[in-house]
Amino acid sequence: MTDIKKSGNFLVSKEELEKQTEYSELVKTVISSRFSTENPKAFVHTYGCQGNVSDGERIKGMLEEMGYEFTDDVSQADLVLYNTCAIREHAEDRVFGNIGALKQYKKAKPHMIIALCGCMMQQQHIADRIYKSFPYVNLLFGTHVIHKLPELLYRVLCTKKRVFDITDSDGVIAEGLPVHRDGRFKAWLPIMYGCNNFCSYCIVPYVRGRERSRDFDTIVNEAKHLVAQGYKEITLLGQNVNSYNRDKGSEYNFPALLRAINAIEGDFIIRFMTSHPKDCTTELLDTMAQCDKVAKHLHLPVQSGNDKVLEEMNRKYTREKYLSLIRYAYKLMPELSITSDIIVGFPGEQYDEFKDTLSLIDEVKYTSLYTFIFSPRKGTKAYSMPDPVSREEKGRWFKELTDLQEQIAGRRTAGMKDKVYRVLCEEKAKAEGVLSGRTEGNIIIEFCGNENLIGSFVNVKVTECRTWIVRGEMC
Ligand code: 5AD
Ligand code: SF4
């Protein structure tokens, strides 16, 4: 039976979800007969982006329902699950290393179930390699069958056979899965899944399927529920939140969603990520400016400041279009904090073209940047593009970029001195009696305070500025 109607209705059917609930009960029965004295323990580790972290919370929710408890100690685990990321080669290498290291644990504890899922596993060549080279992996499943975890796990438990399921599809939406949230006051709220953009370097559209938006009212109700539970920060997630509901042709677009969530009563802030510049509209920026609960922080990945490179990347905007959005945004919100992603050394990029990225970051004055050296991803267009510049050379460009950004960030944070910021207290800092939090602009700020303030908002006056972090006093 297929879960997806190609008409654009990606919802997993009620019958399928009920079937999974039945499997969940079956797993519970099986494991309670095998672990009679205490509940079995699961070690779950998620790599990569917030979207993956949010999937991880659903996976943990399902495991909890099946009777598992969680542990941070692999050697104590009866089930180890890695929720993996495929965005760069380095991320995949780390996972391979960690799977290799599991062999000794499995030897010491033969009943241990080893399970792998996430973007990396959705690739056929990776699943094949795992099958051949890591015979002790019991379960591997892709991004489109997460909701089937109870059924897949039941098959592993009962047949003792290896279960591999990387069903390819345009993707699904499984509503109503249980969620085990890791945070007490910060929550992830996915609003859409998948990506249609096929940037030439990126693996995501191949492993996450097409764009599909969750129902507007379902999201708003989930946000209301989170606020009622005491969550203080809600981050709306999607690969490209700006195209929310475009797949459905609905007028209830992303700005409308922001307004609806902003209207929920309560003391909380709204963040969102990621925005694609090609779909970032003045309506979105106007909405950010008007909505008091929307953090004045915009993550707007530019990737490159050169038009030729942007075209080769298939980004569908120009440097000028990007800069005009930034100018509009700063005019509306002079205090706006803007962050971005940059790729250095895209295949064929020349040093002169890279210098356009340097001049762009100097013009935008980003708060911070996520910078990456291009990593070839099998199956993408850029994978087979000629790439003559050496890794060492790209490394030098990378250093030039990060040095420049450090100066810009230093000047930006220096401008915060003596100003007062509303801060969400997040955790204890390293030093005794010091708390760490974030401003609306996502800048880390440390200040003296009692730990019972963690999870609440306080006003902090900045007294000392470092490049990436500021210190202050509560007022
Ligand atoms: N190589 C390097 N960086 C990449 N990113 C995505 N794909 C690649 C790749 N193949 C970066 C982009 C994206 C961020 C999430 O990861 O900058 O915005
Ligand atoms: Fe990848 Fe581009 Fe989609 Fe972002 S918008 S997930 S970079 S293809």
* pLDDT tens column, 397-442: 999 999 999 999 999 999 999 999 999 999 999 999 999 999 999 9
Taking 70 as the threshold, does the pLDDT of residue 2 lie above it? no
Same domain for 427 and 410, yes or no, is no
Mean pLDDT (whole number) for 225-237: 98
Q: Given the CA of residue 203, which atom of ligand 1 is nearest to it? A: 7
Tell me what pLDDT residue 1 has: 35
In this predicted model, what pLDDT tens digit does every residue of 11-27 receive, in sequence order? 999 999 999 999 999 99
Q: What are phi and psi of 261, to 5 degrees?
A: -75, -35
In this predicted model, what pLDDT tens digit does every residue of 68-103 receive, in sequence order? 999 999 999 999 999 999 999 999 999 999 999 999
Mean pLDDT (whole number) for 162-173: 94
* Cα first-last separation, the chain: 61
Q: Given the CA of residue 314, which atom of ligand 2 is nearest to it? A: 2
| pLDDT band of 7, cuts 50, 70, 90 | very low
In a domain, 1, yes or no: no
| pLDDT band of 3, cuts 50, 70, 90 | very low
In a domain, 251, yes or no: yes
Percent of the chain with pLDDT over 90: 95
In this predicted model, what pLDDT tens digit does every residue of 238-287 receive, in sequence order? 999 999 999 999 999 999 999 999 999 999 999 999 999 999 999 999 99
Same domain for 148 and 217, yes or no, is no
Same domain for 82 and 221, yes or no, is no
Query: For the chain, how many structural domains are there in total?
Result: 3
Tell me what pLDDT residue 8 has: 55
What letter represents residue 309's amino acid?
V
List the residue whose alpha carbon is closest to atom 1 of ligand 2: 202
Q: Is the peptide bond before 274 cis (omega within 30 degrees of 0)?
A: yes
User: Which residues form the domain of 465?
Assistant: 420-474
In a domain, 55, yes or no: yes
In a domain, 33, yes or no: yes
Two tokens, residue 109: 């504890």
Mean pLDDT (whole number) for 353-382: 98
Same domain for 34 and 144, yes or no, is yes
In a domain, 180, yes or no: no
The H or E element containing residue 388 is none
Q: Given the CA of residue 342, which atom of ligand 1 is nearest to it? A: 17
Q: What is the pTM of this model?
A: 0.96
Q: Is the CB of 315 under 6 A from ligand 1?
A: no
Strand (E) positions, 136-261? Answer: 139-141, 163-165, 186-190, 192-193, 212-213, 233-237
| CATH at residue 49 | 3.40.50.280
| CATH at residue 260 | 3.80.30.20
In a domain, 175, yes or no: no
Q: Is the CB of 387 under 6 A from ligand 1?
A: no
Q: For residue 213, give the nearest of 174, 182, 179, 244 by alpha carbon.
A: 244
Mean pLDDT (whole number) for 214-225: 98
In this predicted model, what pLDDT tens digit does every residue of 299-308 receive, in sequence order? 999 999 999 9
Q: What are phi and psi of 251, to 5 degrees?
A: -75, -10
Q: Is the CB of 147 under 6 A from ligand 1?
A: no
In a domain, 2, yes or no: no
Integer Cα distance of 441 and 343 in angstroms: 23
